Copies of this chain bind each other. A is one copy, B any other.
Amino acid sequence: MSSKTIIMFSGDLDKAMASLIIANGAAAMGDEVTMFFTFWGLNVLRKAKKIKVKKEFMENMFGFMMPRGADKLALSKMNFGGAGTAMMKSIMKKKNVSSLPALLESAQAMGVKMIACTMSMDVMGIKAEELIDGVELAGVATYLGEAENSNVNLFI
């Protein structure tokens, strides 16, 4: 058994898909997998519904402009104001590829450790209550500890 650590920096649908397909695959093969969500990647972990939390003005603005959760992410290319993303999702459904929320759920069910970067949360004004259940909060030292013990490290 070996370990894999993935930094999920991007909040793009396609990159989140890639990263969760790798995480699910590795977990299914018995590996210990840690995903460290930072910057735009935090959006993957946001709950779909608006959570009432106290925020400053700029935090509210950021929170309002960023996608709320795995089901709201857009493609990094060919988004075309949402049309490309909708098309891609419809193709994936037709081809029986799991959706991003489903991949996230199965990764958690298989024990993939999900960590939200506290410094990014602070900067982007994202509160713990706004994240899906089962997410740990930690900083770069924790990431480095996990990476140290992993034989595959990716930044996505």
Enumerate chain B residues within 8 angstroms of A154, measured Cβ to Cβ: 7, 153-155
Tell me if A's interface is mostly helix, strand, loop or mixed: helix
Q: Are B25 and A144 in contact (CB under 8 A)?
A: yes
Q: Are B78 and A65 in contact (CB under 8 A)?
A: yes
Q: Are B155 and A25 in contact (CB under 8 A)?
A: no
Q: Are B22 and A143 in contact (CB under 8 A)?
A: yes
Q: Are A95 and B78 in contact (CB under 8 A)?
A: no
Q: Are A40 and B77 in contact (CB under 8 A)?
A: yes
Q: Are A95 and B77 in contact (CB under 8 A)?
A: no
The residue from B2, B21, B58, B65 contacting A148, defined by CB atoms under 8 A apart: B2
Q: Are B144 and A26 in contact (CB under 8 A)?
A: yes
Q: What is the copy number of this chain in the assembly?
A: 3
Q: Is A140 an interface residue (CB 8 A)?
A: yes
Q: Is A88 an interface residue (CB 8 A)?
A: yes
Q: CA separation between A39 and B19, bound complex, in Å?
A: 12
Report 21 cross-chain contacts, Cβ distance below 8 Å, ordered by A residue.
Answer: A2-B148, A9-B18, A18-B39, A25-B140, A25-B143, A26-B144, A29-B144, A40-B76, A40-B77, A58-B87, A58-B91, A59-B91, A62-B87, A65-B78, A66-B78, A95-B122, A95-B123, A144-B152, A147-B152, A153-B154, A155-B155
Q: CA separation between A26 and B148, bound complex, in Å?
A: 10
Q: Is A109 an interface residue (CB 8 A)?
A: no
Interface residues in A109-156 by Cβ distance below 8 A to B read 119, 122-123, 125, 140-141, 143-144, 147-148, 150-156
